[in-house]
Structure 1
């Protein structure tokens, strides 16, 4: 796990390089003229059942046209090359809609250099009818662009800091617990050495040597497992995130730091654990007493963490400074380590409160926790810290993903809950007589299709882009409530009264505007009336006013620069209705783009960080579950003789099994309760630092706790076979 973490900078660097190498936009000021070294390209992205598919339509203009990364040669017109993941998706049963949408011959696959990860869906379709002057088509003479590094936003910096602490701290807790596996047998060996003349210094040195050798062996085994596992990295995806084999290359400095940190932690924990043990020639005495654990300093740790977090960041810019980051990290560590400090006290209070009551398995479990509470809480600390960190991350992610201005909220003029509006656009260069609505209207699930032309205009000195919709009176009546209409009229839609966003548009008869970004000038016609949009209008809840114009009012120039658009009203209850619409549009023209305005697009950077962190949390929870299994097996093995004696005296195995399960479940339940409390407090504090309102997704938080409980219960159940073996009569033998 730590070697994987040491590979993250390399993986990110390789991913950034692949992103830069396949940039297909002319970001320079120079105009590119047609030559044998140019290619036309156009975005034809699509979505299938929630999965994004990156598509490009390309047309080489000469034999030396540049090739996209990962593509060996351009196929013939009408053919396409796809990524291996998309090839499998197209061949999978039940994906006939996608095969119909991308129904072009596949003549090759895209190499790793053209993909962000092995699971990315990408295709390149070669065409021979692309026009260089079309609005969405661009000409390139090379692929790739080197970007200067831009700092992350303070919110994402905070999220990354939280992710690193949350992912690595449970690993440290696991190492601290694993170092103490077999501690009782080690102490008995050291007592035997004291009997033959070794002094305390010698036994301490021998204990340190044993731990150092076993730690080095574990590091070597971990390195072998990492090297072996990275060969299969391309076949694994967590939260939609994957890496190539070469991406998992640890940075040498970080790998050396991993070795040093693990050794130092192992030796330190061993020396601390021996302070409570007196290893004498005639046996081992464990220091204990009737004094209860004190709560004040255990509560002081999380309180200190909250105070540090409160004073660490006074402005978002502090997150880019070393001192601000250090205080945030220390504060988070104090809060999460507070879980491991509070949990032993909670277990002790539980055993004291309920001791002497309940059935026999319950009594045995509580007595086992009284005698071995430290070992029980050590095995639970890892899962508790992981859950606390996951809860904090989820709370932070929920708050950051909330858009302060929810533009998707529907007012009184929006569609009903059972219907939605889609917008299909095609930049066909103003092709006369093109009729797309009748075909799209026959799509399963579509209730109505309204066709019109759409052109974007903006003030001459730059400013907010404004939309003009052009159609005849019959179609305009479907978009708005018109008092009367004749060719030459123009209408202005009024924003809904429930919308509180300011209107940035400026409309005045005779006003000079510019079409598109560099297009010709256009004069606003006389506005006949201000009207209300109908629910079928694609932007019915928009805060901006839109001009609805008849062809005569808009003029021939505006129609020539307009994009063919079809507004669709569809039933949400129809299965795969959005994919049916996309497929129908792609059959008309692969360059058709379909948008669903009611669906929030989210922040791509935040989405990428979110997927990476959730993937890491999933991996950590799996690791901690495995560590709990090892701890439980070690605990059963150390108590094998006691269990055998109990069975020999007539204790039913069912009673012992129930007590062992209870002994594992009770600390886990307390640990999850403490973890949820501290994790929620940490997430709320981090949101406050980011200046966001605190929002909790309680269903997800409960689900995280459920995953932690399921992992713990599964580890406890897997110890039952070892328990059956330990209760045989052979377990009474002792040397």
Structure 2
């Protein structure tokens, strides 16, 4: 075409793109190909829109948490000077949260000071004694057989339901319990709910976890969108060759291909938006790892949403055009790199090496409260994981090139992969990257849990031991609670006492523990030859293990202690009797020997001490619900008391929240990848419809063809999982070096590999009915 008659570039592009869009919707085959592409792209778009909504969801949950917050010993802007001033609107409140099996329950005890008290968000009244307001999910649980023990624990009449504005999510288990037993010294006096807490700096390790999780979870989604954009590539190339025959040049065919991909991408955007809107309505009925969100909170961030809406169509066009780089489209034929060359390895190694080069200099960067360079971390993670998608086609090509012989089904599979392994490897690359990222996350989580957890001061000695603490129990309450624990179903033994940390007079920063109990109780704390009411003993730590050297012995007999009064109000001097005998402290269930001053009640009444009730409870092995029975006993005695299995370290609350959110997102990504792989597998089978029908017509058994399809999936999967394991361990090791931790639990990678294998096996089995249908004789027909 001469320069004079050549169309304007804008008109050329518009004409060719429009022609490509027309081809995308022309004929039955065109529609099927475009719909499959749209479904694949749409699932990825729905997931990306959900990811774009995460900031809004987190912000909404924080706002609801702030709205019901009660801070410290006094709350709602009540200062220490006026915390004792009760008004007609103030409310006494105390924490009453509890656990039921693996479920966390948010709870508070409320007691109105007047007739017009302030109420928590989502409620219109303060429940009276023996009454309770509950969330809808908790109301349902209490009415079920599964919640029978919990109903016995709470033991109050439900008089109302907490509204959405007072809950973090639609499935949160929450309650407000009415009381008339709260004391101002132990409870917070609230003028209003909803003081916004000053945010503490986020632990850099948690920032690292969130940053890595975003890259790991979103990268497989992007890979699958790119894979979906290449659905029907072989037939499209044949059609472009026909266009060359009627006069189209190479540039025009690429513009037409871009228009065809753009049509699938735009239709995928519409489908993804529809899936997101429908899923948004259903998300309120889903709970993952204890997390649930209200549909109204699932709103994509404006800028992130715009990035998705603009980026995905451009990505589909770019992938489609890039895929034509090695294809020569000539009239009536398509030549894929005239002389098929082996895939080169050297450039495929550059991204993973570049990723390591970015991550390794960050070793130890988070020790001592360092900061996270999010851009450097994300770039390193993406480059490392991207290396899997680049290396997998090369590894499959090298492996199948060396395979010879075997059963017919094996030979069919190997030959198919030798001729065209790209389609098969693209189908599994997304799940391979997802598994590698999950392996790295698991290793990082194991190390981060150790880094972010805090010592409890206890040492786990054996399973079935429970620690009970009540900070407001007096001597009478202590005896009653110990008796109740001993009589609890599933309890083998219980030892309870009052203890307080008291200052030693005349010595700076010197303290000793004072244990108050009857002679029977003190005998469980130390080896006593004899004991009578009024006696005092000095419990020495003994030499039961080398660790006992770190336990401070009590002060000498005759020393004076500054005894703090109840609630820390006031002090008095109390002197250890001059002839106080020294005894050997026994090893507690917490792993450390008792060391301190043991006193009987008449020698130093517990009501004169700022003390707390402590107990250890040993459970029977044959009672699976023993832990829940103990929690019920403790809660009914005092909702503010708590019982927990003894462990030496406790993960931080922020870590638990982040881990639940990440694993919930990982589950959603695996579901998406599984659904996407089904579509990809169906598209591959549809492309090979004629070959399958011809093989059956020539006498090939259907079972042989079915086995060949399984082998075609199994070979790339085996190599992919091997690469995923190696890259995942390498990435996890590099990330652990940043926080100064090493791999502590290699077995944590097994579930991730198992989950990836299960997804692939499920996808393959779901594609079998379509395979059987395509092997019918009508598959020989062609247009």
Aligned to 1:386: 434
2:592 corresponds, among 505, 516, 541, to 541
Which range moved further: 448-457 or 191-200? Answer: 448-457
CA distance in 1, matches of 2:113, 2:740: 51
Aligned to 1:69: 121
1:56 corresponds, among 84, 105, 108, to 108
CA distance in 1, matches of 2:548, 2:249: 80
C-alpha deviation, 1:470, in angstroms: 0.5
Q: Residues 489 and 351 of structure 1: is their aligned pair in 2 closer, same or farther, counting only changes over 3 Å?
A: same
2:537 corresponds, among 490, 513, 517, to 490
1:706-729 Cα offsets, whole Å, 9 max, x none, are 111111111111111111121111
CA distance in 1, matches of 2:780, 2:477: 94
C-alpha deviation, 1:321, in angstroms: 6.2
Aligned to 2:624: 575
Aligned to 2:90: 38
CA distance in 1, matches of 2:259, 2:504: 77
**Structure 1 spans left out of the alignment, 5+ residues:** none
1:507-526 Cα offsets, whole Å, 9 max, x none, are 56214253577422144542
Q: SS state of the match for residue 480, structure 2?
A: coil
Aligned to 1:5: 51
8 Å contact from structure 1 (residues 458, 516) kept in 2:
no
1:116-155 Cα offsets, whole Å, 9 max, x none, are 222221111111232223x3x2211111222344432111
Q: SS state of the match for residue 499, structure 1?
A: helix
CA distance in 2, matches of 1:517, 1:233: 46
Aligned to 2:153: 101
C-alpha deviation, 1:580, in angstroms: 1.1
Structure 1 residues 495-514: aligned runs within 5 Å: 497-499=545-547, 502-503=550-551, 507=555, 509-514=559-564
Q: SS state of the match for residue 551, structure 1?
A: coil
RMSD: 2.8
Output the TM-score relative to the length of structure 1: 0.92
Structure 1 residues 138-217: aligned runs within 5 Å: 138-217=188-267
CA distance in 2, matches of 1:618, 1:419: 32
Q: Residues 20 and 661 of structure 1: is their aligned pair in 2 closer, same or farther, counting only changes over 3 Å?
A: same
Output the TM-score relative to the length of structure 2: 0.87
2:419 corresponds, among 371, 380, 395, to 371
Q: Residues 623 and 419 of structure 1: is their aligned pair in 2 closer, same or farther, counting only changes over 3 Å?
A: closer
CA distance in 1, matches of 2:592, 2:449: 21
8 Å contact from structure 2 (residues 98, 106) kept in 1:
yes
C-alpha deviation, 1:185, in angstroms: 1.6
1:454 corresponds, among 469, 476, 499, to 499
C-alpha deviation, 1:195, in angstroms: 2.2
Which range moved further: 717-726 or 284-293? Answer: 284-293
Which range moved further: 63-72 or 481-490? Answer: 481-490
Aligned to 2:361: 311
Which range moved further: 720-729 or 689-698? Answer: 689-698
Which range moved further: 445-454 or 123-132? Answer: 445-454
C-alpha deviation, 1:198, in angstroms: 2.0
**Structure 2 spans left out of the alignment, 5+ residues:** 1-46
8 Å contact from structure 2 (residues 464, 618) kept in 1:
yes
Aligned length: 724
Which range moved further: 602-611 or 458-467? Answer: 458-467
1:228 corresponds, among 256, 272, 278, to 278
C-alpha deviation, 1:662, in angstroms: 0.8
1:687 is aligned to 2:759: no
Aligned to 1:22: 68
CA distance in 1, matches of 2:502, 2:765: 67
Q: Residues 489 and 270 of structure 1: is their aligned pair in 2 closer, same or farther, counting only changes over 3 Å?
A: same
CA distance in 2, matches of 1:16, 1:510: 49
C-alpha deviation, 1:693, in angstroms: 2.4
CA distance in 2, matches of 1:8, 1:463: 48
1:292 is aligned to 2:339: no
C-alpha deviation, 1:34, in angstroms: 0.6
8 Å contact from structure 2 (residues 554, 597) kept in 1:
no
Q: SS state of the match for residue 554, structure 1?
A: coil
Structure 1 residues 698-709: aligned runs within 5 Å: 698=747, 700-709=748-757
C-alpha deviation, 1:424, in angstroms: 5.1
1:565-586 Cα offsets, whole Å, 9 max, x none, are 5543322442111111122333
8 Å contact from structure 2 (residues 540, 554) kept in 1:
no
Q: Residues 400 and 278 of structure 1: is their aligned pair in 2 closer, same or farther, counting only changes over 3 Å?
A: same
Aligned to 1:481: 527
CA distance in 1, matches of 2:112, 2:275: 46
Q: Residues 60 and 672 of structure 1: is their aligned pair in 2 closer, same or farther, counting only changes over 3 Å?
A: same
